[in-house]
Structure 1
């Protein structure tokens, strides 16, 4: 639906505010996660995806795609996480072409702590200033935009 009453500058300003609000919040969130756990944003994203997945493992190619990393970029992040003892690479017993990334016991512990810290930070930086209703509305609005603009559902 195209609203002819919405001024061009107004809609561009709205979108700018969305981006600026997201970036400011994301910078705060990732800064605190890095400070507390030594995790860069890509590493944190991978650990969170693994801690939420079945058996805390995923095929490398799927994880790289979901984390929006190139094959080379994912390999670098995975190498750092392996060196830190947070993940392991496990060949698939059923398909030689597939390698799984799996959280180690230490990785599961750190991922769980980081996820809890993330929730605490988001309560302070999103839920507290917006309140529950606006927070839910924001999430639903972003889900709608992701869906209609070609992202995952």
Structure 2
């Protein structure tokens, strides 16, 4: 059995910094969305993806992949949005198992109202804390992590 490669001081600082920052940013954004729009962060992301999609609709399996979530987790969140009239579901005409999530006009309006406050919170807790060089390094580094995990 190989001996584990323990993290050195710099590696541990990077790991712990990533964990703390990620958790604190996520908590702050979750609270902001809840307070200002009555949405969870996953629900907000669902609305964003639907708003960006042609016709405001995406097949549920594709939406789960885009959001990096389970189908059951997505089904729950879409169900919550559907109860509020923000999203509806429709059957896929070419596949009996396929279901589309469709953004309603109410959902589009809620998103329009929620987006400015959310972007301001993202700026406050992350973007404006870093200078342009730090943002470039962060974007490259996290982009690389994401690419490797996708493959």
Structure-1-length-normalised TM-score: 0.84
Aligned residue in 2 for 1:131: 131
Q: CA RMSD in A?
A: 1.9
Q: CA deviation at 1:99?
A: 1.3
Correspondence list, 1:1-20, <5 A: 8-20=8-20
- Cα distance in structure 1, aligned partners of 2:147 and 2:33: 28
Residues 2-151 of structure 1 correspond to what in structure 2 (within 5 A)?
Answer: 8-148=8-148, 150-151=149-150
**Partner SS state of residue 131, structure 2:** helix
| CA positional deviation for 1:35 | 0.7
Q: Closer, same or farther in 2 for the Cα pair 1:136/1:118, shift >3 Å? A: farther
1:78 Cα deviation after fit: 1.4
Structure 1: stretches of 5+ with no match in the other structure:
1-6
TM-score, L = length of structure 2: 0.85
Q: Secondary structure at the match of 1:97?
A: coil
Between the aligned partners of 1:55 and 1:114, the Cα distance in structure 2 is: 20
The 3 A distance-change label for structure 1 pair 113 and 140 is farther
Over 3 Å counting, the alpha-carbon distance change for 1:52 and 1:136 in structure 2 is farther
Q: List per-residue Cα deviations over 1:15-50 (Å, max 9, x = no partner).
A: 111121121112111110111011112212211221
